[in-house]
């Protein structure tokens, strides 16, 4: 499977999730499970774990608000009906089921290609060269910033300007860490743009790597999954038009 195919398939599933009702969600869940098991394989439990880790806190929060505080569903409020906590719970369940599916398919897509290096991943994407360059630059600079954050954090704690734990000082001075990190990164990239890149013509090394195209945009596996997703989405929309639950 290619990243392009995974992106398109995930987009179809996510869009279908947003418009589907309960029966549609069940169909999409089955398709997603098949995708996770076949494409992600041994990392399938990781997908489940991450999806649960992200959705459960949100679900608890929603239950506290909708069931605990409000006590009725939005449709009841809109129709000026008394509603019930049960209808509120049903509403929360559907929203959380949608969110769970969205998270699961996103994580599955990311984990499917975890064996690729960032350069390999970006290389396979079908997008304009400028965007590929940007993606590569951004990923590299993220790591630069992360290292700078770690080192600047130590130095600023050492100087007493910020503290290790939550404090009023951090509320007032936490932004100094942001500034230090920003300026460190600026200095680093300015030096590269001024010296290393012009001397080496470094960016010219990147472009041929990013524009190597040996594989087609979608392979057979991509087309199969995209077709399945499209069929599921069509069924869902048809069912919605004909009033299925």
Partner 1 sequence: MARREFIAGRNFSGRSQALIAQAKRFGPQTYFIGPYAEAALSGLSSMVADEIELYRAKGNAVPRPSFGQITVDPHRKPQSLSGGEQVMLALHCFSVSAYTALAIDTALEQLDTRNRREAFGYLDEGAFDVALTDNRTRPTQWNHLELTTTDLRYACDWDQLGAAIVPNRAPLITIRQLSFSYQPGRDIFRDAQATLEPGRAHRLTGPNGAGKTTLLKILVGALVPRTARILLDDVAYQPWRSGNVALALATQNPDQQWCGATLREDMARRRAALAGRGIQKSLADQRIAKLASTLGVSSVDQHLYELPLAARKRISWLWPFAGAHPWIMLDEPTIGQDDETCAALAHALALFCEAGYGVMFVTHDDGFAAAVPHCVLHVENMQIS
Partner 2 sequence: MFTTPRLIAIALCAALNFALGSVVFLVKLPIYLDSIGTILCALLIYPDRKAAFVCSFLAAMISTILTTIFINPFLIWFSGTELAIALMAALVIARSDDVFRARPLPVVKFGARVVFYGILTGVAAAVVSAPVVAYVFGGVTGSGSAFLVAFFLKAGEHLMTAVLHSGFTAEPIDKTLQVLLAALLYRATPADFIAMVRAQPVPAPT
Footprint of partner 1 (CB under 8 A): 117-120, 136-137, 139-144, 146-148, 151-161, 163-164, 169, 173, 176, 179-180, 183-184, 186-189, 191-192, 195-197, 199-203, 205-206, 208-209
Minimum CB separation of residue 199 from partner 2 in Å reads 14
Residue from the set 27, 52, 84, 174 that interacts with partner 2 by CB under 8 A: 174
Cα–Cα distance for residue pair 15/78, rounded to 1 Å: 25
Nearest by Cα to 143 from 163, 125, 117:
117
The one among 1, 31, 36, 181 contacting partner 2 by CB under 8 A: 181
**Residue 28 to residue 30: CA distance in whole angstroms:** 5
Helix, strand, coil percentages (3-state) for the chain, rounded to 5, are 80, 0, 20
Using the contact rule CB under 8 A, the part of the chain among 27-35, 40-48, 98-106, 207-215 near partner 2 is 98-106
106/224 with CB nearer partner 2 = 106
Structure tokens at 12: 């179809």
199 binds, among partner 2, partner 1, none (CB under 5 to 8 A by kind): partner 1
Could you give the CA distance from residue 81 to residue 64 in angstroms, rounded to a whole number?
21
**115 CB-contact burial (10 Å; exposed 0-12 / middle 13-18 / buried 19+):** exposed
Whose tokens are 């959380």? That residue is 96
The residue count of the chain comes to: 245
Question: What does the binding site for partner 2 look like in residue numbers (CB under 8 A)?
Answer: 18, 54, 57-58, 61-62, 65-66, 69-71, 74, 77-78, 91-92, 95, 98-99, 102-103, 106-107, 109-110, 130, 133-135, 137-142, 144-146, 149, 153, 162, 165-166, 170-171, 174-175, 177-179, 181-183, 185-187, 189-190, 193, 197, 203
């Amino acid at each position: 499977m290619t990243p392009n195919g995974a992106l398109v398939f995930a987009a179809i599933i996510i869009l279908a999730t947003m418009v589907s009702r309960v029966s549609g969600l069940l169909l999409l869940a089955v398709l997603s499970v098949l995708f996770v098991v076949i494409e992600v394989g041994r990392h399938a439990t990781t997908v489940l774990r991450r999806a649960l880790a992200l959705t459960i806190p949100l679900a608890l929060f929603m239950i506290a608000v909708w069931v605990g505080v409000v006590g009725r569903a939005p449709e009841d409020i809109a129709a000026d009906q008394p509603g019930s906590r049960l209808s509120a719970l049903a509403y929360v369940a559907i929203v959380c089921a949608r969110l769970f599916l969205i998270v699961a398919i996103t994580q599955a897509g990311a984990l499917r290609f975890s064996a690729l290096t960032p350069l390999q991943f970006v290389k396979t994407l079908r997008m304009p060269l400028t965007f590929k360059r940007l993606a590569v630059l951004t990923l590299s600079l993220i790591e630069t910033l992360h290292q700078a954050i770690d080192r600047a954090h130590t130095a600023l704690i050492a100087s007493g300007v910020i503290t290790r734990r939550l404090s009023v000082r951090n509320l007032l001075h936490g932004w100094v860490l942001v500034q230090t990190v920003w300026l460190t990164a600026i200095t680093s990239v300015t030096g590269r743009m001024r010296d290393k890149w012009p001397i080496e013509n470094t960016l010219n090394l990147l472009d041929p790597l990013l524009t190597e195209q040996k594989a087609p945009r979608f392979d057979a596996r991509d087309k199969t999954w995209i077709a399945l997703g499209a069929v599921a989405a069509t069924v869902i929309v048809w069912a919605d038009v004909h009033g299925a639950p």
